[in-house]
Structure 1
Amino acid sequence: MNKSLKVYLILLFVLLIGVVVLESNKPKEINWNPTYSINDKIPYGLYVFDKEMPSLLKPDTLNTVNNTPYEYFDSLYDYDTLVNNYRTSGTFLAINHTGNFDDESLKELLYFASHGNTVFLSMKNVSEILKDSLNFEISSSFTSIDSTFHYLKSKNIENDKYNLSDGFGFSYFSKIDSLKTSVLGYQIYDDTLANFIKVPYKKGNFILHLQPSAFTNYNLLKESNYKYAEKVLSYIPKGNLFWYTKDISEGHISRNPLRFIFSQPALKTAWYLFIGGFVVFIIFNVKRKQRIIPIITPLENTTIEFTKTIGNLYYQEGNH
């Protein structure tokens, strides 16, 4: 390793250390992404809700559903012609930014509700299969807003208005079957809009809520907003609870070995700087270095000297 290469590597190492130190001392920016992850303590994570939910709802049994609803409930169905029913009962609970269930899982949830169970979904939008089956429509506003006021309709619950923060727009029910559907709550933004309903489906019910941010860390810890979440959840009947965590748990986290590096701003910057420096080094050293070619002195032309020597020899011998 020549001297210039050593100097280059030392400078690169010192630069990397400097970047890591500077980035580590910078105030960490708040991540406002709506992850709805039970592992995230950021504003729009569900860490607090996941920890407090068991004591809040006090279910008979709390079952964590970490695979699709179809896979989970189909395994609990008794196909015996004399039984033809689920071997369990209760409420399926899912909270996320949007619903991303596959079609088979949606059909399974409809079938689960039809056997006298409850499906509680809090998300800004759901699949067309549910909209068609339950006869409702959802409209969305993508206006950037700081917050909207929310309240519940029931006479048995205090009608306090709660100021919930959500800067990602909002959704509301633009059409419902008024003969079957019960409106449970509203939000206020210009107009009063329904965002919480209960829809009977055969022997069971669907409870649909369009403000999932109410259950996030930020809103649960802000003033008295936790009371709104408590009141919304009070509509869940007592019994077994099936808490859906497939899309919001560790199983959804990337397994990339560089995940930790990319999760830390200082290490991420240092990593990119290292890669950039390495690429520059390769570019400037891509040509193979050749050994120094020694200077070879051309052979002297001695033809004339040789001729003179031969001539002198003949002269001395008198052979001429």
Structure 2
Amino acid sequence: MSKSLKLYIAILVLLIAGLIAVEFSIPTPVSWNPTYNEDHKIPYGTFVFFEELDNLFPESKVQSIKVTPYEYFDDYYDWENDTYLTTGTYMLIDDYPNLDDTSAQELMDFASYGNDIFISSSYFPDRLMDSLQFDTKNDYSFDGVANVSLSNPVFKNDSITIDRDLSNIYFSSVDTLYTTVLGYQKFTDSLRTNFIKVPWGDGQFFLHLQPIAFTNYNMLKKSNHKYASSVMSYLGDDTIYFDSRNKVGQDLNRSPLRYIFSQPPLKWAWYMALITVVLFMIFNAKRKQRIVTIKEPIKNTTVEFTKTIGNLYYETKDHNNLIDKKITYFLEYIRRVYYLDTQILDEKFAKHLATKSGKDVSDVKKLINQIVYLKAKSDCNEDDLLRLNKAIEDFYTT
């Protein structure tokens, strides 16, 4: 090893040691990132609220949901008896929830059997907004301070003031025939609705804006916890299904470098070491790089094979065989994606498939009837094949 290289390594080691010393001497700043994570004790986590759920609902069990609502509640649905095997209240507190239309439909199904759904958020899925007939609007002209209160006079002393990191999103329209207004938010002189109750089937939806009210910062400020307690009083004392931010597959970083990346000094030292190694390899490779042998890529014969098989079926006009294969593949798709038994293709099966897939019931029944007819038909023609193919493609795409 040359003297110059030793000198460079020594300078690099001293530089990294100096950066580490500087970083450790700086106090860790408070993170104001709104995570809404029940494990986070930072100002905008929900650790305090989550810990208080046992006191707010002493007769209930708090169950964290670490998968999507569809994945969780669908496993509890009894298809034979057409009912859910569990009851309780689904709870979600998140400014930007990852709630797709499929999970929203599952929550509506769960509520229709007499359960409660509580969502505190700034944005809701289109499926909920269309079905429950409400809309929201964001008024950007506000001074950043709001008074949040409940409409019931019993809770008139539980109003709170939120002074930072809130939005002026409010319910701009609701179905006045069925919707009950439970709370308001006031910016300057504008009183807007921010908490509503909407019945759905035998259950109810409680929709709340300003999820920031349930964060650690606001829960520990003065007597703000009374507001959260009053909001929760509308919910039944049954099992609480708390939609966790810590989803399965997302909560743990299993990289062997996870500790290094969790410490800013070590992270920057790692980056500097990588940059140094890359620069060394670039400058050193100029003299030591060997001639790279050019290798022809392996030909992809999949397309030619597919064309050959397609021409073979086309020339033989074996429509029955093609129809049988398309039906077999389609039923396997249903078993794999929707976990339905395809041995009996009757009206009950069509109804379950429509419910699971979100398709129109009449379209699904037509498709299933067409499959049953073609399976029984001994001499299928090209028109039968084309109609079946179009019906299956419409099911995949619509």
Quickly name the TM-score band, shorter chain normalised.
Answer: 0.7 to 0.9
Give ranges in structure 1 of 5+ residues lacking alignment. Answer: 290-320
Distance 1:250 1:225, change over 3 A: farther
SS at match of 1:197: strand
Number of the residue aligned with 2:106: 108
- The answer to whether the 8 Å contact 2:151/2:181 transfers is yes
Number of the residue aligned with 1:33: 33
Query: In 1, distance between residues paired with 2:26 and 2:36?
Result: 26
Equivalent of 1:172, from 170, 184, 189? 170
Task: Indicate the structure with greater helix content.
Answer: 2
Shift in Å, 1:118: 0.6
- The answer to whether the 8 Å contact 1:77/1:87 transfers is yes
RMSD: 2.1
CA deviations on 1:99-118 (whole Å, 9 max, x unpaired) are 32222211110011111111
CA deviations on 1:49-101 (whole Å, 9 max, x unpaired) are 22222222224332222211112111111222xx3211121111111112322
Equivalent of 1:118, from 92, 109, 116? 116
Query: In 2, distance between residues paired with 1:252 and 1:168?
Result: 27
Equivalent of 1:134, from 118, 121, 132? 132
Shift in Å, 1:226: 1.2
Number of the residue aligned with 1:219: 218
SS at match of 1:113: helix
Query: In 2, distance between residues paired with 1:88 and 1:46?
Result: 26
Equivalent of 2:147, from 149, 152, 171? 149
Distance 1:144 1:22, change over 3 A: farther
Task: Indicate the structure with greater strand content.
Answer: 1
Query: In 1, distance between residues paired with 2:136 and 2:252?
Result: 32
For these two proteins, the number of residue pairs brought into alignment is 286
- The answer to whether the 8 Å contact 2:197/2:205 transfers is yes
- The answer to whether the 8 Å contact 2:54/2:60 transfers is no
Query: In 1, distance between residues paired with 2:93 and 2:33?
Result: 15
The letter for the 2-side match of 1:200 is P
Larger Rg: 1
Query: In 2, distance between residues paired with 1:76 and 1:20?
Result: 52
Number of the residue aligned with 1:241: 240
Query: In 2, distance between residues paired with 1:205 and 1:15?
Result: 61
Number of the residue aligned with 2:42: 42
1:203 aligns with 2:188: no
Shift in Å, 1:203: 1.2
Give ranges in structure 2 of 5+ residues lacking alignment. Answer: 289-398
The answer to which of 135-144 and 70-79 deviates more is 135-144
SS at match of 2:287: coil
- The answer to whether the 8 Å contact 2:166/2:210 transfers is no
Shift in Å, 1:210: 0.8
Query: In 2, distance between residues paired with 1:67 and 1:100?
Result: 11
Query: In 1, distance between residues paired with 2:168 and 2:272?
Result: 40
